[in-house]
């Protein structure tokens, strides 16, 4: 669970089980489990799950924000491949900018976050990928991004 929570996006099978059972071993979730669960699921859920060591299923994980999507077990690989393909064919500068704006900008005030977002937008707006994306939109075709 701690490894999954370190990822930006998480897709789970409907059969997945989650938990922070470390309390039952006499230790705490020591690889980001307390801090990431707190940020994903909130203080109340993080306390409950870490203090009790209770297991929970994919539906609750989705409800808590621990996963982004739950799919049928037989569709898991297909869903992961589709998401990976979508991300791999996206504009690299835009992907990095989105991650940076959300992860960095989300740590401060809304005004600071908006200012940071504007700066990242300006950087992306100056790329060849932006021009390719706009041209592809006008030509009603899929863009081919090159990371330039």
Per the residue annotation, which of 2, 48, 63, 79 is the catalytic one?
Answer: 2
CB 123 within 8 A of CB 96: no
Closest CA to 97 of 122, 62, 69, 67: 122
CA distances from residue 54 to 22, 32, 50, 58, 72 in whole angstroms, order as listed: 10, 18, 8, 13, 23
Residue 2 among the catalytic residues: yes
Per the residue annotation, which of 14, 22, 79, 117 is the catalytic one?
Answer: 22
State how far the Cα of 7 lies from the Cα of 83, in Å rounded to an integer: 14
DSSP state of 126: T
Residue 117 among the catalytic residues: no
Closest CA to 13 of 78, 82, 84, 64: 78
CB 19 within 8 A of CB 56: yes
Report, as residue numbers or ranges, the catalytic residues: 2, 22
């Amino acid at each position: 669970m701690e490894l999954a929570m370190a990822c930006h996006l998480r897709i789970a099978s409907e059969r997945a089980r989650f938990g922070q059972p470390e309390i039952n071993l006499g230790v705490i979730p020591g690889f980001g489990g307390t801090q990431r669960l707190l940020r994903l699921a909130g203080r109340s859920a993080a306390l409950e799950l870490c203090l009790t060591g209770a297991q929970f299923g994919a539906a609750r994980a989705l409800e808590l924000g621990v996963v982004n999507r739950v799919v049928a077990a037989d569709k898991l690989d297909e869903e992961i491949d589709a998401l990976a393909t979508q991300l791999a064919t996206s504009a690299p500068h835009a992907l990095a900018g989105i991650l940076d704006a959300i992860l960095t900008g989300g740590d401060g005030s809304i005004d600071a976050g908006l200012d940071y977002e504007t700066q990242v937008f300006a950087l992306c707006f100056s790329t060849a990928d932006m021009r390719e994306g706009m041209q592809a939109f006008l030509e009603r075709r899929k863009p081919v991004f090159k990371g330039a």
